[in-house]
Amino acid sequence: MKLVGNYIVIRFKGELASLHDKYTIEISQLFAKDFFLAGLIATRPCHLQVEVKKYIESENELLVRIVSYNEEAGQFTYLQNENQNLLTKITSIRITGGSETMSLYAMGLKDSPSKKPKLKYDQVKLPIEDSKKPIESKIKKHQLTLNINFSIKKLTFDKGCVFFEYKITELDSKVEIVVENGFIDPVHDSIKPYFSKILELEKINVNVTIEYSQNTDHRSSIKTITDLKASSNDIDRITPELIERVKYKYLKNKIRQDNLNEKSLLTKEEFLQLNDGSENIKELYESDEALLEALTNVTQTKHHQHLLFLSEIHDHKTMRLRFIPRPISFMFLVNGESKDYFVWETSDTKEATYVWSNPIKDIEKRKPDLMKRLGEIDLIITRILNEGKNQYIEESEEGFTRVRHTYLDNSDGFNRWKKDLLNTII
């Protein structure tokens, strides 16, 4: 993914410039802001090799430094092929200058009949030699094959691929190596240590083939990568099934961690970011229900039927599901005829189901009232978790009740619990 700091090729033909095979724009439009190339046309096919110094996204503009001129159409680099969508948005290029900007005559560029170039020669370093004499281009093509071992923890997981930077001695530069895999997503970057555990590898093995051209002209010997292909049997092992195993391993480790958050009741995003500052981790599970299901699988819950039933009757439109890290448990909102009910159910303890009622006094203020009550219940749960349940139960708070579980070998235990719960929610 990145262009800044890398070399790209700009092709010229007539009044047109190209940044990749599917995108052509008028030279006068592309370089409208620049004193060097604005208003010029190319008398013969040629190309510039430039280094991208900056990308200004708000203006769809590239700032570049000219590295070399070549008297042939030239091949676009592999990075240009990888970034076609981005390059198609570019509407302006400005040249920042450099140690070797090229003569207009040598480039085969001349004044456009309609626009005169506004050149500031004190800002452009022209070659001393006869600029009317074309520069011969001596380009040699090479192929390089590499076998690389690279740490999984240093990979970047992106949309449909992993990538990493690697110093290639033969090119005397760092190159971005991209290994494609359609199952990989940026969110996986947050849990890549678990990929290492499931794959039982600290490093992946990558086969890389690089094609590059070298301009042996006396002015420049820059090596330009025209194609790069990378494959890895280790990355090919990452399938949806393996990703689920990785997520399972991640959750199993997370539920062992202490809750360092001031709140007990957490949203999906807060729960996933618990003790983890990564922004991407919030999207590891696409919905509250998906995380609920995953947590019940990890904890081998005693209350799987109970949680599924509560999820079905939970008022998703009014309140999102809340997660309590330790013990793994969940807060649901259930509607009654004249009251709403907050229902706290654990995943794998024998604790009873806790229920708090909240009368519906004013339908217009219902949601603010519920959020206020939820905050109060958050404090109650924090107190129960820190001091124990007995004192709170003995206080017999109005609107609070418990529904006990009966653990039998058949479905009668769940059915009894369900009947008691529905009798409570009236």
Please check whether residue 217 is in contact with residue 136, taking contact to mean a CB–CB distance below 8 angstroms. Answer: yes
Record the tokens describing residue 340, joined without a space.
């709403």
Domain count, the chain: 3
Q: Would you place residue 375 in the very low, low, confident or very high pLDDT band (cuts 50, 70, 90)?
A: very high
Query: Can you tell me the mean pLDDT for 122-137?
Result: 39
Q: Is the pLDDT of residue 115 over 60?
A: no
Residue 128 lies in a domain: no
**What's the whole-number average pLDDT of the chain?**
82
Neighbouring-strand partners of residue 333: 342
State the pLDDT at residue 111: 44
Residues 59 and 113 in one domain: yes
Residue 311 lies in a domain: yes
Q: Is the pLDDT of residue 155 over 90?
A: yes
The pair phi, psi for residue 379, each rounded to 5°, is: -65, -40
Residues 269 and 197 in one domain: no
Higher pLDDT, residue 133 or 364: 364
Higher pLDDT, residue 332 or 385: 332
State the pLDDT at residue 299: 79
Residues 286 and 319 in one domain: yes
3-class SS string, the chain: CCCCCCEEEEEEEECEEEEECCEEEEHHHHCCCCCCCCCEEEEEEEEEEEEEEEEEHHHCEEEEEEEEEECCCCCCCHHHHHCHHHHHCCCEEEECCCCCCCCCCCCCEEECCCCCCCCCHHHCCCCCCCCCCCCCCCEEEEEEEEEEEEEHHHCEEECCEEEEEEEEHHHCEEEEEEEECCCCCHHHHHHHHHHHHHHCCCEEEEEEEEEEEEECCCCCCCEEEEEEEEECHHHHCCCHHHHHHHHHHHHHHHCCCCCCCCCCCECHHHHHCCCCCCCHHHHCCCCHHHHHHHHHHHHCCCCHHHHHHHHHHCCCCCCCCEEECCCCEEEEEEECCCEEEEEEEECCCCCCEEEEEEECCCHHHHHHHHHHHHHHHHHHHHHHHHHCCHHHHHHCCCCEEEECCCCCCCCHHHHHHHHHHHHHCC
Bin 200: left if φ > 0, else alpha if -120 < ψ < 50, else beta: left
Q: Would you place residue 131 in the very low, low, confident or very high pLDDT band (cuts 50, 70, 90)?
A: very low
Amino acid at 219: R
Residue 130 lies in a domain: no
Residues 313 and 373 in one domain: yes
Residue 27 lies in a domain: yes
State the pLDDT at residue 91: 86
> Over the stretch 223-256, which tens digit does the pLDDT of each residue have?
778 888 999 999 999 999 999 999 999 998 888 8
Higher pLDDT, residue 95 or 41: 95
Residue 46 lies in a domain: yes
- Cα dihedral 203, 207, 213, 218 sign: positive
Record the tokens describing residue 320, joined without a space.
């999102």
Lowest mean pLDDT among 34-38, 228-232, 263-267: 34-38
Q: Would you place residue 33 in the very low, low, confident or very high pLDDT band (cuts 50, 70, 90)?
A: low
Q: Is the pLDDT of residue 174 over 60?
A: yes
State the pLDDT at residue 419: 92
Residues 302 and 187 in one domain: no
Residues 149 and 189 in one domain: yes
Q: Is the pLDDT of residue 313 over 50?
A: yes
- Which of these three, 181, 208, 241, is where a domain ends? 241
Contacts of 245 (CB under 8 A, 6+ apart): 198
Residues 266 and 189 in one domain: no
Residue 217 lies in a domain: yes
Residues 154 and 202 in one domain: yes
- Which of these three, 123, 157, 191, is where a domain ends? 123
Residues 293 and 369 in one domain: yes
- Which of these three, 98, 123, 148, is where a domain ends? 123
Lowest mean pLDDT among 21-25, 70-74, 112-116, 180-184: 112-116
Residues 333 and 293 in one domain: yes
Residues 275 and 403 in one domain: yes
Pairing of strands 23-26, 40-56: unpaired
State the pLDDT at residue 119: 32
Residues spanned by the domain of 42: 7-123
Residue 247 lies in a domain: no
Residues 40 and 188 in one domain: no
Residue 252 lies in a domain: no
Q: Is the pLDDT of residue 106 over 80?
A: no
Q: Is the pLDDT of residue 62 over 70?
A: yes
